[in-house]
Amino acid sequence: MNAPLPAAVAAPFYQAQGDECRLFEAAWQQQLPVLIKGPTGCGKTRFVAHMAARLGLPLITVSCHDDLSAADLVGRHLIGDGQTVWCDGPLTRAVRQGGICYLDEVVEARKDTTVVLHPLTDDRRMLPIERTGELLEAPPSFMLVVSYNPGYQHVLKTLKPSTRQRFVAMSFDFPAADVELAVLQQETGIAESQARQLVTLAGQLRRLTGYDLDESVSTRLLVYAAKLMMSGMAPQLACRTALAEPLSDEADTIAALLAVIDTQFPAR
């Protein structure tokens, strides 16, 4: 049976690029877990926050890392005041609350950690808690969402096929120019002319990917640059601070980025 659609609440701004909102909502209604792939700063986390608010669901986000263990997700016993107390982890809290559990950069977590997700990502929709003997059944409103950046993948950091094939997947990329323009104006209030210059600059910088750059300029960094400009900072300094310096530590690479920035915002 499909979960009823709860009343929507005010959602963080998100500019749709295609059918991703409709697809996410359909996956939630059909109780399907979702995998989101895309580069850093392209809007994956904002999209999940937007959809959680739109569906009226609590959102629990976990930023995955190398030391993330299954106990970090499920929970553990803690000792205090002379007694041992069980403390739910974020995954368990999301199951109990019937909300969305979002695991950001899931490939960063330890391999043995992702196995705990398997019973929640098939028709069982169960979370075994071995240390308490509980077997939690996820309510219809619960949803598991994971994301990662394929650009960072290598032989030691991939999702196992047995895990990947438990999810429906969406691929995200940097927004089209008109969408990115709307995002900058909505997020920062910057003038359309300057927003267009930033979007054009982003396109130029993204074509440099591969020239000693692991990643290219993200929409998030463009928003940072626009906010600095709105604070009164000179455009070239704002772009150096928000776009060039975060992308590289190499002086030659930064100089090349600044040369591109100078085409849109010449030094005065």
pLDDT in tens, 148-203: 988 765 545 678 888 889 999 999 999 999 999 999 999 999 999 999 999 999 99
pLDDT in tens, 90-124: 999 999 999 999 999 998 888 778 889 999 999 99
> Exposed, middle or buried, 122 (CB in 10 Å: 0-12/13-18/19+)?
exposed
Q: What angle do CA 256, 262, 268 make, to 5 degrees?
A: 135
The CA–CA distances, whole Å, from 114 to 86, 150, 175, 261 equal: 22, 17, 30, 42
Share of the chain above pLDDT 90, in %: 69
pLDDT in tens, 27-57: 999 999 999 999 889 999 999 999 999 999 9
Q: Quickly tell me which residue has 């909300």 as its tokens.
A: 99
Domain boundaries, the chain: 20-171, 177-264
- The tokens describing 261, both together, are 């920035």
Q: Measured between alpha carbons, how far is 115 from 197 in angstroms, rounded to an integer?
A: 46
pLDDT band for position 244 (50/70/90)? very high
Hey, what CATH topology would domain 20-171 get? Rossmann fold (3.40.50)
Question: Distance from CA of residue 53 to its chain's centroid?
Answer: 15
**pTM for this prediction:** 0.87
Q: Measured between alpha carbons, how far is 106 from 127 in angstroms, rounded to an integer?
A: 18
